[in-house]
Structure 1
Amino acid sequence: MAGGAELGRSSSLTLVSALLRVPFLNEVSSRTTVVQLVGEVLGEPFSVAEHAHPFQHIWNIVEACRRHPEGFDALSHVLGQVEGNSLPMHEVDRIIGDMRTTGLWPDTEYQRLLALLSGVSVPDLPDIYQHVTGAAGHRLPPGSTVAEHLNAANVLNADSNGLPKLLSLIEHLAPTVRADLSAELHAWADAQAGRLGLVAELQSMRARCARRPEVRAESRSTAYLVVLIHPDNPSGQRCRLAHWRQLDLSEGWKPMRGSDVVGDLDEIKHAVAGLIEQVETEWSHLDPDVRIEFVLPNELINLDVDQWPWETTSSIPQPIGTRFPVSVRALERMREDKYHRHWRLRWKRLNSWLQDAGTLPEEANHWAGGQNPDALGGVLMRDMSLLSMVLGEPPEPGSSGLDDVVVGVRDGIPLMLWHRKDCASEEFRDLVKGVLHGEGEPVLERVRLARADARAERKPGHAGNALTVLWDDPDRVVTPTLVRPPKG
């Protein structure tokens, strides 16, 4: 099997017929938009020959998806975003699911696999499943059975080497079960790989799993929950929340996207708390260092997200920022590749300083305020050793503080700090100096401790209660494919 290329070709016509009933694909411009968005999801150019006739154009799209291991997953994701939960989309998803599994192995063989694992307990199964399936894997609820994880993996496209995700999952599961069952699982996988002509690929996967018998976060490794919030209508009264999470970064940044939530700000806060409760529960036995990041557009960049409660219900609410390292990130920079080169240059230098010395020299920070945007841009671009910036004014819409954020984002500053109400206070400036130039704990932990100090000292005006840090890592970008300003 070679991913999409091996999906049953006889089903192409059925899929094209179903796609013709999807309203969004009626116009050639909309079909072209879908092709562009599929390329964004795949992270690489996705070339499809246009055609004025809908049937031929959609046929070309299906054939292009067939040639890419993750093509049909990307197409399904994009159409789900633009078309929503419509009846035509239900049929499209059903057909794609059927195409993924047709001809891989006889149903009797699959039932035998399910019987082998019936009643088996694998404590780390959710983490193993996430590791194997990556962003393509559908999140399963806590307590899902082994069979439910196998079924979910069985409908996914193959890895880039052609190995079906289900075989990869079996190879990762085998070292975690008792020896006799492990041997039977290997025998089952050997038989399937032999029929599919993937013996070498399976053996390579088995060797990697033998070297790494457990797929789990090492003690105090860093795990991430990334939350993207943006207005969902012109009034800004309703927002959309998208989120990604990743526990184990040892094989690169491959965050798993969850379901979106749309609601007013109170509903978004409640949804964020629910996500945090979920990762605290699911990752509790692994003891990772969990970081919470909020990707925000300019108009929301000054939200007090670190002060939101991390529990959905509590008689004594506790702010997220006192329990976790919490930072914000710039949505505008994340979706504009033209800003990434300088961003990466400064991030690399920032990391070098923090890894070597554990702190930033004072000359690497710029205190903004009192400059017009053009002058600030000149200051930043004549000195690439400037790696952080402290705002002179909160970045509210229409303010000079927001202008400073826009310039800093454009010119690659990866670390910015500000007070959400009063950037001129001496207490705030002293706090920032300690965060940037102090010693001991990492920068984000110093920020967390400052927020905890503010709660411990019970001073409403404590600068730690209103401290925002923008900490933006270009190596951990999420793909906000369809995030654009709402149309008025």
Structure 2
Amino acid sequence: MATFLKDPQYVRLEDDPNDYRIGHIDSADQKRQHRVVLTTMPRDDTRNAAATCTDMLRTFPGIRCVVLAGVAGGVPSLRRPDRHVRLGDVVVAVDGIVDYGHVRLRDGIAEPRRPVTGVSMDLVRAVRRLQVESYDDNSGRWISWLTPARDQPMATFRRPPPETDLLVFRGRAVPHPPPAQTGHVEGLPKIHYGKIGCADVLMLDEERRDNLAARHDLLAFEMEAAGVAASAASHGIGWFTVRGIVDYCDRAKNDVWHPYASLTAAAYVRAMLGRCQPFPVWRMAPGRGAIALLPDHELDSLVALLEHVHDLDLQAVWRAATGELTPLPPSPPTGAVDLFNYLAGLNAGLDQVPPALAFVEEVAGRVDRRLGARLRQWVDHMAARLHLVEVMHEHRARVEERRLRNDEPNGAGQQIKPCLVIQVEGDGIDRERCEVRYWIQRSSDRWQPEPGEPRQTAFKEVEEAMQAAVRHAESAWRDNDGPVGIELLLPTDLLHKAVEWWHTELEAPAPTPLCLDYPVVVRSLDRMRATYRHRVWINRWKTIWRHPPGHRLYWGRMHTQENSIESWNARLRDNAELTTVVLSSSPEHTTGREELQSALNAGVAVILWDRRAPLQPDTASLIEEATQGHPNELPHRIRVLRTAAATAAHEEQARHPGRHIALLWDDPNRTVEAGGH
């Protein structure tokens, strides 16, 4: 496939085990090419395919479709010559794949547990266009790409001699059906359209091959597509697979046809992409984040506008566009074009606004009206192409609001304190593993958390990763004599964990619970990522600080004798003055989990619960007492209760309410760029 890339660049990132090539391939739009990221899997199995694809999508979040091109074993068909697959042929999975490795046994019959969905309809339509073209030209114009040069290395991909295409049936060689019946043209591959079977099974059994092919109407077998499909589906993007045939899934397997079959699959993919419009995505630059996939003439039009921008405080524009989360480039910028080019290499944050567009929007508000209008027209055009119209509309409203309140750094007027935000998220594929990310807020002036190095680890070793983050933060705070805090940013399915009792000083005789040294709160990762929930979240948070500031409690159903979650949720939604929810039980249980999700969706930023089920009367009394006074005091008061539990007599510690109180304290003005799977 790399042979067909234009202007390929090699990319290697420290936190990604894959090697990449990035380049262009022609599309159906003569003015725009596809931006393509290419990688090769080190092993042929579904698990490795899923891991490779997931790493790629994590590194390049702008990818909008994954195409799997490679080799497979074909299904010969002596009884139905029109479906007879030969070596060097191409099988195009327009009907998807059958994951026959994940089955349900019913009455002794194995059936796939669920269909594999997500085939890219854009590429299916491109394939249909190629089919129509083939009626006019039986070979298709792309066949010319299958005649590589005689010199190495391309000579390796020449079509093998026809006598190497041996068909064995029940241990003896048999002739292929006549080409007039199969539709084959001498020296050329035939294109087959249908379904491919996939499993972590190297198929070498003729009888099993034929039984599965007959049952599921399969044309070929391979070992990766199911993993790629699962990974792509988890990221909400389409996938497609094209395979060149190298053997017949029998014991006569060899490598003679591998190079040529690889070439046929790659050539067909190139032809298919040539009939497909470019996807509206953000492309990737080597070692960087997202960069706009824009035709040269559109970038040129923006550059022409930015070249008219003079006498701006570029550092102020940068801060306004990035929120100061990103340091200025190491080389001093020479102008607006310089800064745009640098920002074009950065990922969008949680608000989904590409920094490059935010920068142009910010410049538009600081130049003369005519130039500003043209810059905003360019932003609007790009937002429409990238399906970000609503996102940019909300961003523009936030910018105007910020200007009206004269760049107040925190909409709720809350003091920013040094803190450490630690994100823990399950791997998504391996339930025993997770990813730990963290951000350090060094100062107390502006919210400007600095990211640390993410770490992949097993759940059972998560405390070691957390300890490394804490030690990094403490090194950054060494000259700070004020209070600091720790926030655990967790997906909803981990919020019930007693994270404040995770330990540091693991090598010491008595490892120390985190809550003894810091106020510890949890935060909702899922809500932070769900930008469509941010408006109600911000409004509910502001309510806490309106005069007179305070917590207005809303108790769980067990406390209020309410049985219906629908009625409980409706009253919470109806009363915007309710600021703080106390759950009936831990989210580990159904009642608490339902109330937690309802409270998060309603924008509630302060939620407490007793990890015992149900909420204990003594804990309820302590919570009611702790929520009196100024709202800012609550995390400290909860820490006092936890310290009391840790220092109680040994036989009393497990029963002490402070051992079981959880606090979600989720300031919507202090978000981080939480990466995701």
- CA distance in 2 between counterparts of 1:428 and 1:378 reads 26
Residue 343 of structure 1 corresponds to: 537
Q: What letter corresponds to residue 466 of structure 2 in structure 1? A: V
Shift of 1:391: 0.6
Secondary structure of the residue aligned to 1:315 is: coil
5 Å-filtered alignment, 1:380-399, equals 380-396=572-588, 399=590
Secondary structure of the residue aligned to 2:484 is: strand
Residue 26 of structure 2 corresponds to: none
Q: Check conservation: 1:277, 1:311, Cα contact below 8 A.
A: no
Residue 241 of structure 1 pairs with residue 436 of structure 2:
yes
Residue 223 of structure 1 pairs with residue 399 of structure 2:
no
Residue 569 of structure 2 corresponds to: 377
- CA distance in 1 between counterparts of 2:629 and 2:644 reads 16
- In structure 2, relative to structure 1, the CA distance for the partners of 1:383 and 1:134 (3 Å cut) is closer
Secondary structure of the residue aligned to 1:242 is: strand
Q: What letter corresponds to residue 481 of structure 2 in structure 1? A: D
**TM-score normalised per structure 1:** 0.57
- Residues 14-56 of structure 1 show CA distances to partners (whole Å, capped at 9, x for unaligned) of 65994138426999x979951689xxxxxxxxxxxxx945999
Q: What letter corresponds to residue 475 of structure 1 in structure 2? A: N
Match for 1:418 among 606, 609, 625? 609
Secondary structure of the residue aligned to 1:285 is: coil
- CA distance in 2 between counterparts of 1:430 and 1:298 reads 26
Q: Which runs of 5+ in 1 are unaligned?
A: 1-11, 38-50, 66-71, 80-131, 138-151, 165-219, 484-488
- Residues 371-424 of structure 1 show CA distances to partners (whole Å, capped at 9, x for unaligned) of 33312220111111111110101111x611111111111111111001112342
Residue 34 of structure 1 corresponds to: 62
- CA distance in 2 between counterparts of 1:479 and 1:270 reads 23
Shift of 1:59: 13
- CA distance in 2 between counterparts of 1:441 and 1:476 reads 15
Secondary structure of the residue aligned to 1:418 is: strand
Shift of 1:278: 2.0
Residue 332 of structure 1 pairs with residue 543 of structure 2:
no
Residue 366 of structure 1 pairs with residue 555 of structure 2:
yes
Shift of 1:300: 0.8
Secondary structure of the residue aligned to 1:321 is: helix
Secondary structure of the residue aligned to 1:284 is: coil
Q: Give the share of equivalent positions with the same residue, in percent.
A: 21
Q: What letter corresponds to residue 19 of structure 1 in structure 2? A: I
Shift of 1:456: 2.0
- In structure 2, relative to structure 1, the CA distance for the partners of 1:60 and 1:339 (3 Å cut) is closer
Q: What letter corresponds to residue 502 of structure 2 in structure 1? A: W
Secondary structure of the residue aligned to 2:615 is: coil
- CA distance in 1 between counterparts of 2:335 and 2:508 reads 43
- In structure 2, relative to structure 1, the CA distance for the partners of 1:36 and 1:389 (3 Å cut) is farther
Match for 1:263 among 457, 481, 484? 457
Q: What letter corresponds to residue 273 of structure 1 in structure 2? A: Q
Match for 2:481 among 287, 290, 299? 287
Q: What letter corresponds to residue 248 of structure 1 in structure 2? A: S
Residue 50 of structure 2 corresponds to: none
- CA distance in 2 between counterparts of 1:284 and 1:266 reads 30
- CA distance in 2 between counterparts of 1:280 and 1:334 reads 26
- CA distance in 1 between counterparts of 2:37 and 2:275 reads 11
Residue 130 of structure 2 corresponds to: none
Shift of 1:237: 1.7
Shift of 1:227: 1.1
Q: Which structure: larger Rg?
A: 2
Secondary structure of the residue aligned to 1:230 is: strand
- CA distance in 2 between counterparts of 1:340 and 1:61 reads 24
Residue 299 of structure 1 corresponds to: 493
Match for 1:431 among 601, 622, 636? 622
Q: Check conservation: 1:240, 1:262, Cα contact below 8 A.
A: yes
Q: Check conservation: 1:246, 1:254, Cα contact below 8 A.
A: yes
Q: Check conservation: 1:423, 1:429, Cα contact below 8 A.
A: no
Q: Check conservation: 2:419, 2:484, Cα contact below 8 A.
A: yes
Structure showing the higher helix proportion among its residues: 1
Q: Check conservation: 1:16, 1:58, Cα contact below 8 A.
A: no
Residue 456 of structure 1 pairs with residue 656 of structure 2:
no
Residue 364 of structure 2 corresponds to: none
Shift of 1:306: 0.3
Q: Check conservation: 1:451, 1:465, Cα contact below 8 A.
A: yes
Q: What letter corresponds to residue 427 of structure 2 in structure 1? A: D
- In structure 2, relative to structure 1, the CA distance for the partners of 1:292 and 1:156 (3 Å cut) is farther
Match for 1:232 among 427, 434, 453? 427
Q: Check conservation: 1:19, 1:58, Cα contact below 8 A.
A: no
Q: Check conservation: 2:486, 2:519, Cα contact below 8 A.
A: yes
- CA distance in 2 between counterparts of 1:400 and 1:321 reads 27
Secondary structure of the residue aligned to 1:328 is: strand
Shift of 1:477: 1.4
- CA distance in 2 between counterparts of 1:437 and 1:247 reads 30
- In structure 2, relative to structure 1, the CA distance for the partners of 1:249 and 1:221 (3 Å cut) is closer
- CA distance in 1 between counterparts of 2:474 and 2:583 reads 33
Q: Which runs of 5+ in 2 are unaligned?
A: 1-5, 12-20, 24-35, 42-52, 66-271, 292-321, 341-414
Residue 596 of structure 2 corresponds to: 405
- CA distance in 1 between counterparts of 2:544 and 2:336 reads 34
Match for 1:23 among 30, 34, 38? 38
- In structure 2, relative to structure 1, the CA distance for the partners of 1:133 and 1:335 (3 Å cut) is closer
- CA distance in 1 between counterparts of 2:519 and 2:334 reads 36
Secondary structure of the residue aligned to 1:442 is: helix
- In structure 2, relative to structure 1, the CA distance for the partners of 1:481 and 1:280 (3 Å cut) is closer
- In structure 2, relative to structure 1, the CA distance for the partners of 1:271 and 1:60 (3 Å cut) is closer
Q: What letter corresponds to residue 346 of structure 1 in structure 2? A: R
Aligned length: 323
- CA distance in 2 between counterparts of 1:290 and 1:161 reads 39
Residue 76 of structure 1 pairs with residue 288 of structure 2:
yes
Q: What letter corresponds to residue 291 of structure 1 in structure 2? A: G
Q: What letter corresponds to residue 38 of structure 2 in structure 1? A: P
Shift of 1:153: 6.0
- In structure 2, relative to structure 1, the CA distance for the partners of 1:347 and 1:221 (3 Å cut) is closer
**TM-score normalised per structure 2:** 0.42
- In structure 2, relative to structure 1, the CA distance for the partners of 1:473 and 1:335 (3 Å cut) is same
Q: What letter corresponds to residue 271 of structure 1 in structure 2? A: A
Q: What letter corresponds to residue 458 of structure 2 in structure 1? A: D
Q: Check conservation: 1:261, 1:268, Cα contact below 8 A.
A: no
Residue 471 of structure 2 corresponds to: 277
- Residues 98-131 of structure 1 show CA distances to partners (whole Å, capped at 9, x for unaligned) of xxxxxxxxxxxxxxxxxxxxxxxxxxxxxxxxxx
- In structure 2, relative to structure 1, the CA distance for the partners of 1:334 and 1:454 (3 Å cut) is same
Q: Judge which range, 438-447 or 412-421, deviates more.
A: 438-447
- CA distance in 1 between counterparts of 2:64 and 2:281 reads 14
Q: What letter corresponds to residue 486 of structure 2 in structure 1? A: I
- In structure 2, relative to structure 1, the CA distance for the partners of 1:246 and 1:159 (3 Å cut) is farther
- CA distance in 2 between counterparts of 1:381 and 1:133 reads 31
- CA distance in 2 between counterparts of 1:337 and 1:294 reads 19
Shift of 1:338: 1.8
Q: Check conservation: 2:583, 2:592, Cα contact below 8 A.
A: yes
- In structure 2, relative to structure 1, the CA distance for the partners of 1:436 and 1:60 (3 Å cut) is closer
- CA distance in 2 between counterparts of 1:61 and 1:157 reads 23
